[in-house]
Each structure stands twice: as C-alpha cells, then as structure tokens.
Structure 1
Amino acid sequence: MDILTGQVAGYSAEDRERWVTERAKNPRRSAFQRDRARVLHSSGLRRLGAKTQVVSPGSDDFVRNRLTHSLEVAQVGRELARYLGCDPDIVDAACLSHDLGHPPFGHNGETALARIAADIGGFEGNAQTLRLLTRLEPKVAWPSGRPAGLNLTRATLDAVIKYPWPLEEAPPVTGESSRLQKFGVYADDLEVFRWCRNGRADGQRCLEAQLMDLADDISYSVHDMEDAVVGGHLDLSSLGRDEVRAGLVDITRRWYLPEVSAEDITGALDRLTACSYWQHDYDGSRRAQASLKHMTSQLIGRFAAAAEAATREEYGYEPLARYEGRLMVPEATAVEIAVLKGLSTLTVMVAEDRLRLQEIQQQVLFDLADYFQAKPEALEPMFAADHREAETDAERLRVVIDQIASLTDHSAWSVYHSIHAGAHDRF
C-alpha cells in the first residue's frame, strides 16, 4: 500500500475511473477512500437507520436496523479484504451500500414493490441500489444537468453489484426466501451498468463483490440469531428437541439450501452447538449477554477464517483483487451459515403474528403507490421534478417506485396515516 495515498496495488487507472470525470482535489486520499466517504455521508445511508432489518425499528432497543447491519457488514467485509489483499475501502464502501436500495418494511416491502412494478421491469433491492448510487443520490451531475448519483469509481460500483445481470437474464428462483427473481439492474440503467462492468457479460462477480456478499451472509446469520435470542423469540435450550430440529431442517431447506440433506443440516447444527463458546441457554443477565456476544464474535471469526483458508489454499498467498480469483467458501461453512439463518427465520420471520403484520405493511405500500400516482404533486421535490420530466406512464410509475423505496418505515406509515386522515398532501 502507498503510505501517502492509501492506494493498494493491483488496481489500474481504469478501475479508478469515474463515469463523470472529476479532478481529484486531495492527492493524499485514494479514489476508493473518496468512494467510501461519499457513501458514508449519503442521505440514503442515514435513512437505513429507520428501515427494517428483520424486526421493525423502534419495536426493540436492542435489535439491528438496516444501518447498524450495514455497519457490521462493512467491518466484516473490511477485515476479509485485508486478509486477502483487496482494497479495504472498496469492500467497505460496497458493504455500506449493499442495502441502500431496500424499501421500507424489508424484504416484505420489496415483494410489494415488485408487484406494483411488475409491468415496468419489476423491483429488486439490489437493482435499486445501483439506481440510487448512479442516479438518485444527489452529488454529481453531467454538464447537461443529468444526474450521476455519487459518481463512484468503476471498481467500487462493480463491487456493489451482487447480481450482475438484468431481469431477463436472471436465473430461476430457488428456495422460498428467493420468491422474487434476483437481478442487479433495470433496463433504463443498463448504460452505467455496462460501463462499470467494462464489457464483462459472463455473470461473474468481482472478488470484492463476493466478499461483500459473504460479509452480508455472515452478519445476517449471526446477528439476526443474536437478536432473536435477546428478543425472546429463540430459546437456545430447545435446540436438542426433535420437533425444533425438524422445523429447522424444513425451513432451512425451503428458504436457503433446497439441495442439502437433512443430515447435513443437523450435522451443521451439531458442530456449532459442540463449540466451546456456544451458549446453551440465556436468561437475560449481563453475564448471559456477554457470553452471547462472545459467541457471535467467535462465529464471525469461524466463518471468515474458513473462507480465507480455503481461498488461500486455492490461490496461495499473493494479494488478490478484482477478477484475479474467486472467494472459496467451504460447503460445511455455507451450511452452518444457512442453519443460523434458518433459526432466525423459523422463530421470527414466519411467526403467525409477523405474517399478519406483513400483510398490513404491503397494503400500506399499495395505497402509497395509488396515492402518488393520483397526486404526483405530493412527491418530494426531487421526485416531483423527475415525474414532470418523465415521458411515459412507465417512467412516471418508476418515479413513484423510487419515491416509495426511499421512504423509511416511519415515513411510509406517516404518509399512509395522513392519506387516510385526509391530512396535507405533502410530507
């Protein structure tokens, strides 16, 4: 690494190129450090503090929201990048950005917006993230006035793209957690997508995107389980019961790993619960909370170390970057991560009261879409301007989708209540 600029070897001038050319104002900061700073100071990142991770913000003082989750993902991703020789600022920026496009109410909101946008190319949180970074977040514009979003470098934008293909090229869905087809770009954002992909059409992700994805999986699996325990949803002492294990096997296969056997899933659970740091009960005391925190820390280290060791075994110890290699995650590690996800899903996401709330939340977003389509003057000023400039009904509906996706859980409820109370049209 260059001590003065913070630049890591292995990245070219092309990797550091921006869609709109800018003159670097501070030669002591690398292009990727500036990328991370732009994401960190963005309004989109701040809004994640009031967006659902699994449990709605405000319902519990302990549980994660999208912002705290993203910060934790960035820490895990940054360490993985350091281990493997990637630029940590690229991976950090990608991790901070990875959930920016998610709408209010988490994946439930994503499902609702996908239904609303079904005739105009759909909705997908990752495609919305690319749209936000390259169009919606105000920072840089072309000389013509056309928005360029945060104008991140090619390497950082590519690292954000978890699904490097449009909807029409998306692979078939597998598992119930993937009811929506996963894709990374809408049709009207293909220009910048192709620019940052720099001609790659093979669907391969750069190494930095793979690190972001693994960091997300690790954080999601471990921390959501921790939240479920502290929230009283998951009883660690029940994991030896046959009916609990049967439910875990069922949900893990249906949601995450449909091809994995029941024996592999229970084997993964047995390996985890046999670890010396695994906590077998929880009573809410300070001592129990400290033990639980120690367990989560050790699990993160376990998963990250397994991926690092497997990748080093495949590629040796030279620094890796961009398309110089693939992240190797052992199958046993992938199953262990999925088992932890399954524990949270079984006890929180598919609980009966949660499913009823999800129906209500979706109706909120349906009503907001109807409202903004009927009263575009009620859109926020930036989106109202986009709506006036739109030339087709499809473009106007996409603006409405952009507006709704930008809302927090709180602001979505606030507008919904104002509609039904006959309050002011603007919020």
Structure 2
Amino acid sequence: MEGTTHALTDDHRGLYDAVDTERWAAEPDKRPGRTAFQRDRARVLHSAALRRLAGKTQVVTPGSRSYDWDASPRTRLTHSLECAQVGRELGAALGCDPDLVEAACLSHDMGHPPFGHNGEEALNEFAKDCGGFEGNAQSLRLLTRLEPKRFVPDPASGELVSVGLNLTRACLDAATKYPWARGDHPTDPDSVKFGAYEDDLPVFTWLRRGAPADRKCFEAQVMDWADDVAYSVHDFEDGLHAGHLDPNMLYAEPERTAIWQVAIGRYVPADTAPEELRAALDRLMEQEWWPHGYDGSAVAQSRLKDATSQLIGRFCLAAEGATREAYGSGRLTRYGAELVIPREARNECAVLKAVADLYVMQRDEQERIRADQRIVLAELAEALSARAPEGLDPQFRAIFDAAPDDKARKRAVIDQIACLTDASARSLHARLTRRGRRAER
C-alpha cells in the first residue's frame, strides 16, 4: 500500500458504532460513564492470562543465567506492556481509540505457550492431527473461551459456558494479527500463521462481521507495527546490555553479510537486495544518538536508553507521517485506512531484528536450551495425554470431560500446556515423568 492515496468516506472518520462495541454476550455496564473500550482494556489488564506472561520467554528464558547483568531480560509481559505504550500513542496520533489499541497490544501475545516461539513449534508438532497450534489463534481462544471472566447459559443445553473476557467486536478484531483460519492464508495455504482454530470459527466469524476478507483492521495494523517496533528495539537493547553484541562488529563486512543473510526471507521479502539493508544499517549508525562504543558504564547505559527512545520515535513518526500523507488529517479507524510504513523504516526495523537474532538467539548456548525445552514440552504433552484427565487442572479437566471426540480432548490438553509458564511447565513435566531435566544455565 506504500505511496497509495485512499479516499475516506464520512462513515470512516473516527466513528465506532454499535456493531463495533457489541459483545458476544450482551451485558449491562456496571459503571456508567466508562466507554466500552475502557472496559475491554481493564478486563485484559486484570486477567490471569496477562499476569502469566511474566513467566514466559520473550528471547531469553526468565530466571536463566544466560544474562550476566543485574537487570533481568524482558519477558512476554514486559514486552506486551512496552508494545501497549507504543501502540497507544501511535494509535491516538492517528485517531484510533487509545484504549482499544492498548487492549489489543496487551492481549496480542496472551496465547503464546511456555518457551516462546520454540514452545509454539513444539506444540504445533504435537497438535498436527487436531488442527495445529498457533500462538495468535490461541490468544483468540483465551480471550473468547478460556479466560474465566464471563459465563452465560448455552442456548441448547442451558448449561453455563464461558465466553472468556467477552470483549467487544472491535477489540477482538484489533487483536487479530492473522484474520484467517488454518489453511486460508490469502497467498500461502501452507503458512503456519493463522488466527482461529476450527472450533473457534463461530466467534471468529462473528468478530469479522462486515470486515473485508483477509484484511486486518487499522487498529490491528497499529498493534502489529507497535509489536515489531517494541521487540526489534528492545531485543537489540537487551543484547547490548548482556554483552552479546559489540556495536563495533557492525562495521565489519563479514558480520554485516551474516546479518543480511538472517534478515532476507525472514524479516524482509526474499527479493530484498543486501544493499538496501546495508543502507538501512548505515543510516542508523550515522545518527548522533547511536550507542557507539557501548561499554556498560552508567553514561553508556544512559546513551543506550536514549537510543531506544530515538529508535521508537523514528519508526512511529515514519509510519504516522506516511499514513497522514496518504489519508490526510482525519481520524483513521477500523477499515477506513491502511497503515503506511515506508520501506526504509521497515528495513531499519528488520536490521535490528536480524542483529538480535544473530547475536542473541543463535548463540550455541541458546540452541542447547531450546533443544532441551522442545524435549520437555514433547514429553509433557505425551505424559498429560496418557494420564488425562488426571494431571489436568480443574478448568481443563472439565473441558476434557465435556469434549465430544479425541481431537477435542487433545485440544484440552494443549490448552492446559499453553497456559503454563516456563517454570510451571518444567515442574509439571518433572512431576509427571518422575524426573526433571537439567536446569537452564
């Protein structure tokens, strides 16, 4: 959509209507004066699922000794809070409801299992015969089914069933990064990225009412860019803090070539020329605030913190300016606009991701830890499946007992595992297999 100008109709200028604020289960507002999106934000903020993110891996496992510095590395929770701050301000600048965007940012990673993307891959392998596993689809499942906030009578049986946090349609849509079911990717049917499991399609269809097929709403696009900005900048910052990255290495061509190899195809399209990425890194390193010669001193830490602020501002202002140039000064919401991100900004963000990937995530020590984590989750999944419903928490035991078939019962086991923190996954694994694996170092 870069460089394309779109006309907006009056219907799209900052209006959230009754369809946007509708909830799956109607309910009265207990505190008049609050907006529907303020209620959404409060429900997400007070949820157990959000709190559990404090014990889930972002890049380095929480509590591991792979960081030899006083401050702890970021977790999924700290990342979500930082993403929410970035997204709220960018969304507000473009005319979105800030509470709506913040709620989407806070909830976008709720479905991620223990051990981050590594755990996601392990659970996807285990779930290949019952619909797969995807962290974003799991987030929708948590928000609409698993997080115990609101129960309503089932129209058919009269029994109480959970509707999760019962968020508004616009909020659920804003939290949907991949608005299609498994196998329905608009250009790649084999993609592992999707936003809803088969048995969650009724609520997915409801939340997508009136939405153009496969298109993310504007607030979801803001959330997605805020996510990219937050983790690219902060993973780079953590890598410097931990001593895994020497900024002087970024001048050497062998290291630069390795960065381009990581970035192309993973963080930028496969046809991106290395010269584009070289220019992107050069632009960043030419800035006065770039953390040249970082040595861990108090002055250097202060400069690094300023650099993270400068980078976040740079990426957000680039998107805000390009989007305003395309759409003008009106309020941009829902399906009235597309977030425009200049190619130069995307490349700069991608270079930071690739640097963190190469120097932090691809270290030999981390690969040994990830291999152990995959074994833990695979063994845990097999042990729970063999014993179920024994070993399941009461909530998931009830889901297991009510499941109509083996696939649904297996999904209940997966739901239980996905809700665990890194530490509780290891603890449960040790208990069920009668042995614990070596602690991470």
Whether TM-score is above 0.5 comes out as yes
- Give the Cα–Cα distance (whole angstroms) in 1 for the partners of residues 248 and 110 of structure 2: 36
Change (3 A) 1:9 1:172: closer
Give unpaired runs (5+ residues) of structure 1. 1-7
Which structure 2 residues correspond to residues 335-354 of structure 1 after superposition, within 5 A? 335-354=347-366
Distance in 1 separating the partners of 2:186 and 2:295: 44
Residue 421 to residue 150, structure 1, CA distance change in 2 (3 Å)? same
**Matched residue, 1:331:** 343
Equivalent position of 2:51 in the other structure: 46
Supply the RMSD in Å over aligned alpha carbons.
Answer: 1.5
What is the CA–CA distance in structure 2 between the aligned matches of 1:209 and 1:67, rounded to whole Å?
19
- Tell me the equivalent position of 1:420: 433
Pick aligned residue for 2:193 from 182, 190, 195:
182
Higher helix share: 1
Which residue in 2 is equivalent to 1:396?
Answer: 409
213-222 or 281-290: bigger deviation: 281-290
Structure 2 residue 46 is the aligned partner of structure 1 residue 34: no
Following the alignment from structure 1 to structure 2, what is the Cα–Cα distance between the partners of residues 328 and 405? 34
**Residue 378 (str. 1) matches residue 391 (str. 2):** yes
CA distance in 2, matches of 1:256, 1:242: 20
Give the Cα–Cα distance (whole angstroms) in 1 for the partners of residues 286 and 370 of structure 2. Answer: 36
Q: How does 1:290-329 map to 2 (within 5 A)?
A: 290-329=302-341
Asked if the contact 1:173/1:181 (under 8 Å) is kept, the reply is no
Pairing 1:239–2:250 present = yes
State the SS of the aligned residue for 1:82.
helix
Native 8 Å contact 2:104 2:220 kept in 1: yes
For residues 365-424 of structure 1, what are the alpha-carbon distances to aligned partners after superposition, in whole Å with 9 as ceiling and x for unaligned? 11111111111211011001111111211000000110000000000111112223369x
2:10 is matched with which residue? none
Residues 384 and 432, structure 2, Cα contact 8 Å, conserved in 1 = no
Alpha-carbon shift at residue 173 of structure 1 (Å) = 6.1
Q: Does 1:287 find its partner at 2:299?
A: yes
The match for 2:18 is 13
1:205 maps to which residue?
Answer: 216
Q: Distance in 2 between matches of 1:382 and 1:201?
A: 36
Tell me by how many angstroms 1:142 deviates.
Answer: 1.8
Residue type of the partner of 2:429? Y
Within 5 A, what are the aligned runs for 1:219-298? Answer: 219-257=230-268, 258-298=270-310
Match of 1:95 among 105, 108, 126: 105
Residue in 2 aligned with 1:132? 142
Contact 2:136 2:194 in 1 (8 A): yes
State the match for 2:167 in structure 1: 152
Flag the 1:232–1:32 CA change in 2: closer, same or farther, 3 A: same
SS in 2 for 1:210: helix
1:264 positional shift = 0.3
Scaled by the length of structure 2, what TM-score is found?
0.91
Which one-letter code corresponds to 2:251 in the other structure? G
> Aligned-pair distance for 1:343?
0.3
Q: Match of 2:61? A: 56
Matches within 5 A, 1:117-128: 117-128=127-138
Instruction: Tell me, yes or no, if the aligned pair for 2:58 and 2:79 is still in contact at 8 Å.
Output: yes
Q: Deviations over 1:298-318 (max 9, x none)?
A: 000000000000000000001
Distance 2:188 2:56 in 1: 25
- TM-superposed CA distance for 1:255, in Å, is 2.1
1:356 shift after superposition:
1.8
Tell which has more relative contact order, 1 or 2 (C-alpha 8 A, sep 6+). Answer: 2
Moved more, 282-291 or 55-64: 55-64
Deviation digits for residues 49-90 of structure 1 (CA, Å, limit 9, x no counterpart):
000000000124331000000000000000011100100001
Whole-angstrom CA distance in 2 between matches of 1:200 and 1:270: 40
> Structure 2 matches for 1:399-410, cutoff 5 A?
399-410=412-423
Matched-pair contact (CA < 8 Å) for 2:233–2:312: yes
Q: Which runs of at least 4 in structure 1 moved beyond 6 Å after TM superposition?
A: none
Does 2:182 align with 1:167? Answer: yes
Does the CA contact (< 8 Å) of 2:123 and 2:133 recur in 1?
yes
Aligned-pair identity in percent equals: 53
Q: Deviations over 1:85-124 (max 9, x none)?
A: 1000010000000000000000000000000001111100
Q: Which residue of 2 aligns with 1:4?
A: none
Is the 1:236–1:281 contact (alpha carbons within 8 Å) kept by the matching residues of 2? Answer: yes
Moved more, 321-330 or 372-381: 372-381
Instruction: Give the Cα separation in 2 of the matches to 1:110 and 1:246.
Output: 29
